[in-house]
Structures are given as C-alpha cells and as structure tokens.
Amino acid sequence: MAEAGRAAEERSSPQSVRSRGRWALLAVWGPGLVVMLADTDAGSLITAAQSGAQWGYRMVLPQLILMPILYVVQEMTVRLGIVTGRGHGALIRERFGRGWAWLSAFTLFASAIGALLTEFVGVAGVGELFGVSRWVSIPIATAMLLALALTGSYRRVERIGPAVGAAELAFLVAMVMARPQLDALLAGLSSMPLGNSSYLLLVAANVGAVIMPWMIFYQQGAVVDKHLSAATIRQARYDTATGAALTQLIMIAVVLTVAATIGNHQEAAPLHTVGQIANALTPYLGKLGGTVLFGLGMLGAALVAAIVASLAGAWGLSEVFGWQHTLNQRPNRATAKFYITYALAHVVGAALVLGSVDLVNLAVDVEVMNALLLPIVLGLLLVLEAHALPEQWRMSGVRKYTTRALCLVVIAFGLYMVPQALGWR
C-alpha cells in the first residue's frame, strides 16, 4: 500500500503533465476513446442490429442504462492503473496469487479471442459487400494490424485507433436518414418485457457487448504504458466519460436505424451477417446509407476493436506470466513473448475466419459469453479497487455505494442468466 502511494507521488512530480500547463493535459486523452470505440466492435454492432430488428425501440432503454455502468467500471481501471502503475493481470497476481491470475487470464483469453473472431468476420463481410474476397481482405487487415504494433509506439496506436474508429460516426448519419418516429421511440422507452426469455437473452448479449472483460485489461494497461501521473486522473476520467457516451450513442444509433427500417417492416426478423444487415437496410436508406455508410462504419469498428482486443490479450497474459510488455519498444528478446502473443492472436483469428467460420449466431453468443464472465471480472475489479489503492484514491460515500450497486446488479444479472444461456431452463 505504501509503495503504491509513493509510486503515485512520484508520477505527480513537477515534470508531470499538470506542470506543463492545462493544454498539455490533452495528451492524457486517448486510452478511454480508443477502448470505447473498440467497444462498439463488429459483434456489438451486429448485436445492436439484431436488437433493433427483433425488439425495435424497446432495446434503447437498456443501452441508456448501460452508459453509466460502462463509465464507472472503466473509471476504476483508470485509477488502478495510474495510481499503482500496474496492469490488471499483474495486480491480480500480486494481490491474490497465481490461481486467481490464471482465472482472470482465462476470462481475458475467452473474451479477446471471441472479439477477434467477430472483428475478422466483420472485415470479411464488409469486403464481400464491395466484391472483395475474404482471402484478400483478411490477410491485408492482418498485415496492417501486425505492422501497426510492430512499430514500437503506443502513441501511434492511440492516434490511428480513433482515426479508424471515427468511421463509426457513419451510423449517426444512417440514423438520421432512417427517420425514427418520436412517438414510437417514447413508447419503446417505457417498455422492457423482462418476462420474455428471448428479450432477456438479447439484453444479456447487449450487456456483454458493452462491458467486455478485455476492455478492463486494455485501459489499465494503456494508462500504465502511457506513464500517466496521478495529477491526470481527472482528465483521464473525462476521456473515459466522453468515450462511454460516444460508444453508447453509436449503439443507440444502430438500434434506432434498424428499428425504424427493418424492425418497423419485418417484425422479429433475424439478422446474422454484415451483408444481410446492409442488404436489408438498402431498400430504406438507399445504396449509400445501406451499403456504403453501414459498411464503412462496420469496417472502422472491426479494425479498431481488433487492435484493442489483441493488445488487451497480449498485455493481460504478459502480466499474468510476468513477461516484459510494452508498445514503446520495438520487438527484441525481452519483449518477444509479448509481440508473439499479439501476432498469434491475429493469425489464429484470421485462420479460423478463413476456414469458413459462420457468423450465424456467433456475434450474439460471444456477447452473451462476455456477460457470463462479468461476475468474475467485476468481482475482482471491485476487490482491487477496495484493497489495492491507497485510501485517498478509493471511492467513498455515495459514489462508492452507487458504483458497487451498479456492478452488483450486473454481477447478479450475469449469474441469473447462466442457466438460460447454457440451456438448463
């Protein structure tokens, strides 16, 4: 505890970001925006589209409720990373031992590989929309992602990530073109048929699509790799809050776009692939809105999420096993295991997709799996926040109880959904 406090004080030295002036604090921004844009990955967007198609405007309220939950979860990772100077896996190993570290590594591995599968299928689907074979689009995307990390610069990743992810803003344009009906939206906001098992399972998928285990590992590792000081925590919170609001606006935009078009004309229509979603939107939004905007938005989401999910996996596993890991050094003998893990994640994901892995139900299943892993992930996060931080950096008062209540609701929901997700009821 004392060491963590001293580490925080050292990172608050006169050379910290605060001493360089208010405008220099903009340098703090990045990890939150990158991880949140990656949060709206191909699997999440397909889940949102499925939600709008099957349940229309009744899936908007869950997205609004998830916005503050997403923020409080990721804000805890920011404080843990900045104050302790340790990544998530490393903290778990130090505090709870190798057994819990291995368990956390399992949740990370499962969620990161699941995410990579949906990202590469998203890339393949967008390529096929424009007549490009997956045997061309997937290898090109893999080569680009590997080249990005092998340059040995976290700053470059942080710049390219938001630039690529900005393509997701196309969904906001598509939402405007879809012209959602205000009266139907208001009616949907007042209706959540939680007694319906199909609706509840899709809500679980949306929970897992918004709060993903690998996001916790990534953002905590990113603020450590960026060497942020304790003086920057407020700005890091703004970064995280902005990202949380933006990612949920994009998810809501997809739900509204599909609800106002497909969901309004084809009640409970199942959607499973990028091409199917785009083709279904084309009669209502035209070729531009249905194919170009949706395709570009999906491509941006898939690429930025592939970067983040694979980095989260490589960072987290390196922390658990005690390997040296950083993006601020080019590959060398010391960092070889970290970079090999990053590269293998892409190669395996690409190979599985090229081996004709079908996206039918895959995206929703991956997100449901994430929701089922959250009791473990959030439980460890809450315990770390309460015990790994010096007392002055822990939550207190209303904020503490509100955050814990929100996390416990998600944990309870995840546990409640286990029997249904496994077909036991």
Task: State the average pLDDT over residues 20-48.
Answer: 68
Residue 79: which pLDDT band, with cuts at 50, 70 and 90? very high
* Alpha-carbon torsion (292, 258, 243, 26), positive or negative: positive
Q: 413: how many CB neighbours lie within 10 A of its CB?
A: 16
Q: Is residue 4 in some structural domain?
A: no
The band of 86, judged by pLDDT with boundaries at 50, 70 and 90, is confident
Q: Structure tokens of 250?
A: 């994009």
Say which residue the tokens 């194919």 belong to: 291
Nearest to 298 by CA among 254, 246, 334, 332: 254
| Residue 239 and residue 32 in contact, taking contact as beta carbons nearer than 8 Å | yes
Q: Contact, 351 vs 252, CB < 8 A?
A: no
Among 84-88, 282-286, 325-329, the range scoring the smallest mean pLDDT is 325-329
Mean pLDDT, rounded, for 167-182 = 83
The pLDDT score that the predictor gives to residue 17 is 40
Answer yes or no: is pLDDT of 357 > 80: no
Mean pLDDT across the stretch 68-82? 93
Lowest mean pLDDT among 100-114, 271-285, 394-408: 271-285
pLDDT of 393 > 60? The answer is yes
Question: Does the pLDDT value for residue 258 go beyond 80?
Answer: yes
Cα–chain-centroid distance for residue 310?
11
At 174 the pLDDT is 82
Polymer length of the chain: 425
Q: How many CA atoms lie within 13 A of 358 on its CB side?
A: 4
What's the sign of the alpha-carbon dihedral 121, 123, 124, 130? positive
Residue 286 in domain: yes
Q: Could you give the percent of the chain with pLDDT greater than 90?
A: 17
Any domain includes 246: yes
Q: What is the DSSP letter of 182?
A: H
Residues 62 and 206: beta-carbon distance below 8 Å: yes
Q: Which two tokens stand for residue 190?
A: 């007042």
Asked whether residue 255 is assigned to any structural domain, the reply reads: yes
Residue 195 belongs to domain with CATH number = 1.20.1740.10
- How far apart are alpha carbons 240 and 74 in whole angstroms? 7
Examine residue 22 and state whether it is found in any structural domain, yes or no.
no
**What confidence score (pLDDT) does residue 301 get?**
81
Report pLDDT for 249: 92
Higher pLDDT, 129 or 207: 207
Q: Would you state the pLDDT for residue 328?
A: 61
Give yes or no for residue 358 having a pLDDT over 60. no
In a 13 Å sphere around the CA of 208, the CA atoms on its Cβ side amount to 34
194 assigned to some structural domain? yes
Mean pLDDT for the stretch of residues 364-390: 88
Return d(Cα 58, Cα 62) in angstroms, integer.
8
Closest of 411, 413, 338, 418 to residue 381, by C-alpha: 411
97-111, 272-286, 338-352, 387-401: least confident range: 272-286
Contacts of 92 (CB under 8 A, 6+ apart): 100, 101, 104, 320, 380, 384
Let me know: does 279 contact 49? Beta carbons within 8 Å: no
CA atoms within 13 A on the CB side of 232: 34
Establish if 21 belongs to a structural domain: no
Average pLDDT, the chain: 80
* Mean pLDDT lowest among 120-134, 263-277, 308-322: 263-277
Two structure tokens written together for 7: 């580490």
Q: Is it the case that residue 37 has pLDDT exceeding 80?
A: no
Give pLDDT tens digits for 187-218.
Answer: 888 888 888 888 988 899 899 888 888 888 88
Task: Say which range, 160-164, 197-201, 402-406, has the weakest mean pLDDT.
Answer: 160-164
Alpha-carbon gap, residue 377 to 348, rounded angstroms: 24
pTM: 0.81
Q: CB of 368 within 8 A of CB of 208?
A: yes
Indicate the number of domains in the chain: 1
Structural domain range at position 416: 29-422
**Does residue 58 contact residue 191 with C-beta atoms inside 8 Å?**
yes
Instruction: Kindly write down the DSSP assignment for every residue of 81-130, as one continuous string.
Output: HHHH---HHHHHHHHH-HHHHHHHHHHHHHHHHHHHHHHHHHHHHHHHHT
Question: Which residues, 6 or more positions from 356, have their beta carbon under 8 angstroms from its beta carbon?
Answer: none
pLDDT of 277 reads: 76
